[in-house]
Structure 1
Amino acid sequence: MEEDSMDYTVFLEAKQLRKQAEDDAKLLSNRLALLRMEEQKALKKIEETRRKAQEIMEARIRNQELLKEKEEKERLKQEEERLKLLEIQNTKAQDRMQREQRVEGCKAKNRYEAKELKEKMQENLEIAERKKQEELEIKTNMKNQIKTQKSLAQEKRRLMNEAKKAQAREELERRIREQEQIRRNYEDSVSRMEQEELELIQRLQNTQLMQQSVYEDLEEAMRS
């Protein structure tokens, strides 16, 4: 009884240590979330500036392409008239070929359906025979299983009675190990998040430098 009380005390201590590690992890996680938010804002501003510079360049390109498009439309119109003439000639030949293919397709379909029907009938016979054998095996197995289950049920009740006391102690020890493992996991998580926090701060600084460079590119594009 005294040993069980000591084990429960160890469990409470492990649970308290786990709670402290969990609180540390939540605090650091909030700081990381703020840093990520700042990074996303800076990246969004960079993207907007780049888009403005891109729009200026695209407007210039569209003006050049409009002239090319007009010339291309005229060329396509002439090509379309030539293709229409060829299409009329090809349509007659294709109609004749399609009629011949439909006739041959009907013949092939009839042959295939007759063969498929024969194979299906043979398959049904084989399925019926297999089902008959399976039903016989199921009945035999059920009889054997009933006998085996009665014997196993008696043995199971005996083993459950013997294992009940040992299981209670093992469960308490498992809970202690579980709390200790959770605490270690939170401590590891805190360590990783501290490293990530340092990396995010460095990335945010780099992003701010990139943002300044993009603004300068936009100013240059507007002056051009």
Structure 2
Amino acid sequence: MITNIKMTGSVVFIYKGHSTDFPKWFKSMLIVVIALITIPAFAQDKKDTSANGDEVFYSRPGKYHQMLGELVGSWTFKGSRFDWVDSVTSKVAMELNGSLVRKPFADGRFFIAEIITRDKIQLPIQDGKMVEGYGESIQTEGYDNVKKKFQISYINNHIGSTLNFWEGVYDSTSRAITFDSEMENAPGIKMKIRFIFMFNDKDHYKWEYYIEQNGRYRIADEMHFTRVKGE
């Protein structure tokens, strides 16, 4: 004997008698009410789960994050800074030496590299003064799964007050990432920068910085990195 049927929400039906005695109109109405209550809730749950699933999927580190992860550890670097005498001739203006330590962040989704020069350089400080000190830079590296591009943000203590941002693409043939950006370190003085990140082997890689002048990119800095033994 069923004395009442209570449904989700505030809908309550009372019917006295055996279940086999339900009139046809009651059975039809019961089916419609159940459909109206359950279907919208099910559809909403499915939509939310799908959206959240996409966000989680595209947040996971992939093969390109693993490629950056192979560079975690301590490195030394040697390189050169170039001055261009004319449109076809360059000379070494400064030797570059220092160290780099790269650490993973967010389980290998991003990487933070801290760079320090071995030799002291002139650094701008307040009141128009210069002071001698070690050059320091912090670089955040990652790969955007949605844009399918490598990304770098960069700050330093020597030239510029801008938080620089670069995006780049990887070429598997040359095993290099080419980043392009534009800097404005002084009002109205804009420079197009090209940064090439070249993978050699697990213990060596190379950076090249180019500045665009008169429609051509000319090399400005070249740095060779070697992994510290035991890392």
Q: Which category of TM-score, normalised to the shorter sequence, fits these structures? A: under 0.3
TM-score by length of 2: 0.21
- State which structure, 1 or 2, has the greater radius of gyration over its C-alpha atoms: 1
**Going by fraction, where is helix more abundant, 1 or 2?**
1
TM-score by length of 1: 0.21
